[in-house]
Amino acid sequence: MTVPHRISAPDGCVLVAEVSGHGPVVVLLHAGGPDRRSLDPFARRLAGRHMVVQPDIRGYGGSVCRDPARHTWDQYTVDVLTVLDGLAEAGVVAANVGVVVAGVGLGSTIALRLAIARPDRVTAVVALGVEDIEDDEARGAEIAYLDAFAVRVRDEGLAAAWAPIVARLPPVVEAMVTDAIRRSDPASIAAAASIARDRSFRQVDDLAAVRVPTLVFAGTDWRHPRALAEAAARAMPAATMAAGEIGPAVRTGEDLADALMPELLDFLDGPAARAGSPGSTAAKSPPSTSSPAPSRRSAASPRSPSSSATTSTAWEGGAGLPTWSEESFEVGGDLAVAADGDEMDTGERGAVT
């Protein structure tokens, strides 16, 4: 049975996540445009041997955030830890447990950044559809592209705004985005488009700082090029390029899970399991002090500005991907646990229901 939780982030944003299954924890992070429901087929197949945590990334699905300034890569990364720490406070997962983070598009970027910043919390990564890492010229075009998307959302509605985008994407992505529209808050989706103004990575070589075992699946569209996935896998010292592909027969989330699950399970049972075992290097690694400079966004997604005023205080280190400070971020506090949808404490430091 899937259990929904509502976790109050320190900035007041309520992050919605579902938990299913038992065993080692796998966090599933959806692409930009879809919501957590898009990965239900993966969750169902994993729940027999893993505890699966499915958050709605800030801005999407139930994790409504209408403030463009709150959509940054640092914030998205902190949000994953907020969810895990909130679930730990509620007794759902063990505190500070090492997890596998599997992401699609936008979610894969968050997973990679989290693995760099907190190798003590991330034992392995699965990246499905690595997002394009742009130069300055391409980034300018991306900002204009997503700014125009946000204007269409506000003026014409979500369905009309997505129409010209999904028409150029694989059928499986179109299906996931279309399904999520009815559960999406238009103003929140428009705000999320501002992520284009932030940078996740500046160059592929920045990914060399990802030292945990990583399984990379190639994307099949212009926003997630195969060549980039292959270059990313070469850059990461413990990465493997998956053999599985998203072929023309993959049209739904069920098709996608059927196509990729065998290789994913082999990875979870092999490299990921060994990395998360007691005494392993990945399980003991301290927070990273490397600072790859950030760049970009997702397959079918909108994103956020990167001024110093919007960067979470949970990060240190100035420009680039900073290092984690335990002192500057805590979820803690008295957490009210209630049924999903009930009133909850949304105090300054966080609450989970």
CATH code, 188: 3.40.50.1820
Mean pLDDT, residues 287-314 taken together = 37
Q: Which of 110-119, 280-289, 309-318 has the highest mean pLDDT?
A: 110-119
Question: Alpha carbon of 282 to those of 101, 107, 135: distances in Å?
Answer: 13, 21, 31
Does residue 349 register a pLDDT over 90? Answer: no
Lowest-confidence region among 34-38, 58-62, 245-249, 268-272: 245-249
Comparison of pLDDT for 55 and 308, the residue scoring more: 55
pLDDT at 1: 56
E strand or H helix at 102:
strand 99-104
Question: Alpha carbon of 293 to those of 111, 208, 263, 319: distances in Å?
Answer: 16, 12, 31, 7
Q: Tell me the three state secondary structure of residue 199.
A: coil
Q: For the chain, what is the domain count?
A: 1
Comparison of pLDDT for 191 and 295, the residue scoring more: 191
Per-residue confidence at 168, pLDDT binned at 50, 70, 90? confident
What is the rounded distance in angstroms from the CA atom of residue 165 to the CA atom of residue 287?
A: 38
pLDDT at 169: 85
What is the rounded distance in angstroms from the CA atom of residue 39 to the CA atom of residue 154?
A: 27
Cβ atoms 336, 346 nearer than 8 A: no
Count CB neighbours of 221 within 10 A.
16
Which domain covers residue 12, as residue numbers? 3-352
Mean pLDDT, residues 300-307 taken together = 37
Does residue 347 register a pLDDT over 90? Answer: no
Tokens of 308: 């110093």
pLDDT at 282: 39
Mean pLDDT, residues 134-142 taken together = 80
What is the rounded distance in angstroms from the CA atom of residue 323 to the CA atom of residue 289?
A: 5
pLDDT at 341: 36
Does residue 264 register a pLDDT over 80? Answer: yes
What is the rounded distance in angstroms from the CA atom of residue 31 to the CA atom of residue 46?
A: 19
pLDDT at 277: 58
Cβ atoms 26, 111 nearer than 8 A: no
Tokens of 260: 């990729």
96 class by beta-carbon count within 10 Å (0-12 exposed, 13-18 middle, 19+ buried)? exposed
Mean pLDDT, residues 324-332 taken together = 33
Q: What is the pTM of this model?
A: 0.81
- Mean pLDDT value across the chain: 81
Lowest-confidence region among 180-184, 185-189, 210-214, 292-296: 292-296
Does residue 122 register a pLDDT over 80? Answer: yes
pLDDT at 343: 33
347 class by beta-carbon count within 10 Å (0-12 exposed, 13-18 middle, 19+ buried)? middle
Q: Tell me the three state secondary structure of residue 103.
A: strand
**Burial profile 149-177: b = 16 or more Cβ within 10 angstroms, e = fewer:** bbebbeeeebeebbeebbeebbebbbbbb
Whose tokens are 């990273």? That residue is 288
Q: Which of 53-57, 201-205, 228-232 has the highest mean pLDDT?
A: 53-57
pLDDT at 334: 29
